[in-house]
Amino acid sequence: MIALALTLVAAPAPADMTITGDAGTTPPPADTGTVPPAPGPEASPPASGTTTTETRQGDLMGPPYGSRVGEKREGEVWRPIEGPTYEKQPVPSESAVVGQSNPDLTDSLKKKQAPLTAESRQRFALEVKMGTYLPDVDRNWNGEGYGPYAKIFGETDNDGVTIGQPKKSIYGGLAFEWQITKKLAGPIGIGVQWTMARDKAQAPLAEPPDEGYTRSRADTVRFTVMPIALQAVYRFELLADKVRWAPFVPYVKAGVAYGFWWTKNGSGKIAVLKDGDNKVVDRGRGGVWGYQINLGMMLRLDFLDPGTARTFDRISGINHTYLFGEWQLTRLSNFGRKDSMNLGDSTWMVGLAAEF
């Protein structure tokens, strides 16, 4: 009896029922008297092969620590577990993304970039024009009959005698313009215009006969005038830019001009004037100063096919094309000197223009 009592006293207390993953392995008993500190995030369920302890009422159930199984006990503080919160971040700009990947471009991207436009930059204009021209050489002639220019280049009868004023000759030219700014409803620029007109007639005989033809049938005398003008230019393009079905661009030009002139004899050389000793007194060439004014209206041809006009702009850099007409006033007489050659005229011209 005494041995049986000692055996019962020495026997260990019955252990908790546990489920072990590995045979022969028993986890140490949990200390229910202390509560471990609560870690942050919620842990995942135990993987295969780990020990799982049967949970009883009032014991810790694993993370999240601080929550117990069963009813709330007196003195315990229950705090709800809230998920993490995130502040909405702004979408990074393109310059920030590029700057992050390539710091060398950061400073260049900070600079203000010009907005993209549908057309290329417009800086220049080119005109090709044609009209008629008659230099007013006889403007200051006060003698009898026709003046010196009309006697040579005027209308003649069958004997070569002058019976009318000269007819206007073909007059053509080119104009180039540098457009400085477009801030006043259209471009303001500086332009250069080159033009030329020629006239010819059979040379009068030095000693004409009393009867018969009074001119040389072999020699032809030619007169050429070539005005060159430097002008300030303004074109009103606001209406044509804003309204497709009003493609009209009025413009004005004004500036100084210089007119070259020369006359050639039948052999194609500059005509000369000789005295009695056969010495050259004067030559048939010179130049005069003056001014020139052009007033015109342009028809922008882009409205006929806007798509083709934009494609042409991208390919060639030509912004707009025009058909235009203008009135030109040219006064070339050294600003009114009485003893000066007068080469001025007022005339109408038509042409084609392009801005690029």
User: Which of 13-17, 72-76, 79-83 is least confident?
Assistant: 13-17
DSSP conformation letters of 165-176: PPPPEEEEEEEE
Residue for token digits 């209308």? 155
Per residue in 230-240, pLDDT (tens digit) is 999 999 999 99
For 298-327, what is the mean pLDDT?
93
Paired residues of 176 in beta bridges: 126, 192
* CB-side neighbour CA atoms (13 Å) of 200: 11
User: Which of 18-22, 86-90, 286-290, 346-350 is least confident?
Assistant: 18-22
Element (H, E) at 18: none
* CB-side neighbour CA atoms (13 Å) of 227: 32
pTM: predicted TM-score of the whole model, two decimal places? 0.65
Rounded CA-CA distance 193/356 in Å is 17
- Taking residue 133's Cβ as centre, other Cβ atoms within 10 Å add up to 25
CA 276 to chain centre: 66
- The amino acid sitting at 230 is L
Residue 79 pLDDT: 62
Task: Tell which wins on pLDDT, 334 or 19.
Answer: 334
Burial class of residue 28, CB neighbours in 10 A (0-12, 13-18, 19+)? exposed
Rounded CA-CA distance 356/319 in Å is 5
Rounded CA-CA distance 88/69 in Å is 37
For 263-286, what is the mean pLDDT?
86
Mean pLDDT for all residues in the chain: 79
Phi, psi angles (nearest 5°) of residue 50? -100, 160
Task: Tell which wins on pLDDT, 282 or 226.
Answer: 226
Q: What is the DSSP letter of 304?
A: G
Per residue in 27-77, pLDDT (tens digit) is 455 444 444 554 444 444 444 444 444 545 544 444 444 444 555 556 666
Paired residues of 288 in beta bridges: 259
Please answer whether residues 236 and 285 qualify as being in contact, where contact means their C-beta atoms are separated by less than 8 angstroms. Answer: no
Burial class of residue 272, CB neighbours in 10 A (0-12, 13-18, 19+)? middle
Please answer whether residues 154 and 135 qualify as being in contact, where contact means their C-beta atoms are separated by less than 8 angstroms. Answer: no
Nearest to 108 by CA among 116, 117, 99: 99
Rounded CA-CA distance 280/185 in Å is 57
* Structure confidence at residue 324 as a pLDDT band (50, 70, 90): very high
Residue for token digits 């007013």? 136
**Token pair belonging to 240:** 């044509």
Paired residues of 63 in beta bridges: none
